[in-house]
């Protein structure tokens, strides 16, 4: 078996270093479907062994539950508190989703503007690249100071984090088109809207989806950080309060719940990508083999 995780083809589509992480999960899932059974079971067996080891160590050394609970204790607590976790889960999911939508609604038209207008590109693009590198999480306390403790500040922080990957990949996608394709369609008499709808947009979509998937993995982070700082609901808030009470077992259960939100986002975008640009996804799958 080759490691298979280094598929340079999919990485060249990304404008950002962070695109690699989502690419990795996607590649892994693709391989997951084509792998033989023993190879599939090996990581599962490792996971079970590690969990068993964890359980044995905690029980044998009588580690206090508030320091490090055993997996069974965390699972038990998670099930017992499931209704409360679920209530916060839906709050966080909602904030992350709305923030993500806001980012998409601003950055996709924005990337179009920059890709089509030389003036806008020259004026804003270098600033955007610089802005992408500035840590936007640092703005979270200010946004909360402005907007209070409701849902809105979480939505804005999430949008702030998701904005740049979509924007930069969108610009890259809309800009990088083979001129020959443009010439060919023009000499075939394509009208401007046909040019956009049938040539430029489909050409940009694979790159745009790279940005959308990268942003999808950031949406949860934005919502959770905002809830850490100024929340009265949501998984981030619940995690902080639970840990203040030293309920580490419940804390671990909440972290697992958070992770599933991230996975929901990622696989949601993956599915949408498969529906929107099946021609590209299937091509990539063949290359992966």
Partner 1 sequence: MTASSKQSLSSRLVERIRAASYPVGTAVVGLALWEAGVRLFRVPRFVLPPPTSIVVEGLNRSASIITPHFWVTLYEASVGLAAAILIAIPLGLIFSYSTFLRRSFYPLIVFIDEVPKIAFAPLLVTWFGFGLEPKMILTFIVCFFPIFLNSMAGFSAIEEEFINLGRSAGAREWEVFWKIRFQSAMPNVFVGLKMAAASAMTGAVVAEFLAADQGLGLFLQKALSQLNMALGFATIAAMWVIGLAFFYGMTLIESWAIRWHVSRRRGQQEIL
> Residue numbers of the site for partner 1 (CB under 8 A)?
1-3, 5-6, 15-18, 20-21, 24-25, 28, 32, 39, 42-43, 45-47, 50, 66-67, 119, 122-127, 129, 133-135, 137-142, 145-146, 168, 172, 217, 220-221, 224-225, 228-229, 236, 239-240, 242-244, 246, 248, 251-252, 254-255, 258-259, 262-263, 266
Cβ neighbours of 65 (radius 10 Å): 16
CB closer to partner 1 out of 5 and 186: 5
- We find the least distance from the C-beta atom of residue 189 to partner 1, in angstroms, to be 32
Q: Which is nearer to partner 1, 54 or 124 (CB)?
A: 124
Q: How many CA atoms lie within 13 A of 22 on its CB side?
A: 28
> Quick one: 52 or 184, whose CB is closer to partner 1?
52
CA distance 115 to 198: 17
**DSSP letter, residue 47:** H
| Nearest approach, Cβ of residue 131 and partner 1 (Å) | 10
Question: Which residue's structure tokens are 């209704």?
Answer: 83
Determine the Cα–Cα distance for residues 200 and 223; give it in Å rounded to an integer.
33
3-state secondary structure of 117: coil
- Distance in angstroms (rounded) separating the CA atoms of residues 183 and 92: 48
Min dist CB 83 to partner 1, Å, is 21
- Owner of token pair 């966080």: 92
In the complex, minimum distance from the CB of residue 62 to partner 1, in angstroms, rounded to a whole number:
17
For partner 1, which is the closer residue by CB, 177 or 195?
177
R_g (Cα) of the chain, nearest Å: 22
Nearer to partner 1, 152 or 195 (CB): 152
Smallest gap from Cβ 135 to partner 1, in A, equals 4
**Smaller CB separation from partner 1, 266 or 273:** 266
Per-residue three-class SS string for 170-182: HHHHHHCCCHHHH
Q: Which is nearer to partner 1, 47 or 82 (CB)?
A: 47
Q: Smallest gap, in angstroms, from Cβ of residue 21 to partner 1?
A: 6
- For residue 241, give the 3-state DSSP assignment: helix
Q: How many CA atoms lie within 13 A of 45 on its CB side?
A: 6
Q: For residues 124 and 30, what is the distance between their CA atoms, to the nearest angstrom?
A: 37
Min separation Cβ 20 and partner 1, Å: 7
Structure tokens of 154? 């979480």
């Amino acid at each position: 078996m080759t490691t298979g995780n280094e598929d340079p083809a999919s990485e060249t589509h990304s404008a950002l270093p962070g695109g690699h992480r989502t690419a990795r999960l996607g590649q892994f899932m693709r391989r997951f479907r084509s792998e033989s059974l023993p190879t599939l079971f090996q990581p599962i067996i490792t996971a079970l062994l590690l969990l068993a080891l964890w359980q044995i160590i905690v029980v044998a050394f009588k580690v206090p539950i508030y320091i490090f609970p055993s997996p069974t204790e965390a699972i038990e607590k998670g099930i017992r508190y499931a209704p409360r976790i679920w209530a916060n889960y839906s709050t966080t999911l909602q904030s992350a989703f709305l923030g993500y939508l806001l980012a998409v609604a601003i950055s996709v038209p924005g990337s179009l503007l920059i890709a089509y207008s030389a003036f806008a590109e020259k004026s804003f693009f270098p600033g955007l690249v610089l802005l992408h590198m500035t840590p936007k999480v640092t703005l979270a306390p200010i946004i909360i100071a402005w907007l209070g403790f409701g849902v809105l500040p979480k939505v804005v922080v999430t949008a702030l984090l998701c904005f740049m990957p979509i924007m930069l990949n969108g610009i890259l996608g809309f800009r990088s088109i083979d001129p020959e394709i443009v010439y060919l369609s023009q000499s075939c008499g394509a009208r401007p809207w046909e040019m956009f709808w049938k040539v430029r947009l489909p050409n940009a979509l694979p790159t745009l989806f790279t940005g959308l998937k990268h942003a999808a993995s950031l949406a949860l982070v934005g919502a959770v950080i905002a809830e850490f700082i100024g929340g009265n609901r949501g998984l981030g808030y619940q995690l902080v309060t639970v840990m203040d009470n030293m309920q580490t077992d419940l804390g671990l259960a909440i972290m697992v719940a958070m992770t599933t939100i991230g996975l929901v986002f990622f696989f949601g975008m993956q599915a949408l990508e498969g529906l929107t640009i099946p021609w590209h996804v299937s091509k990539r799958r063949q290359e992966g083999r």
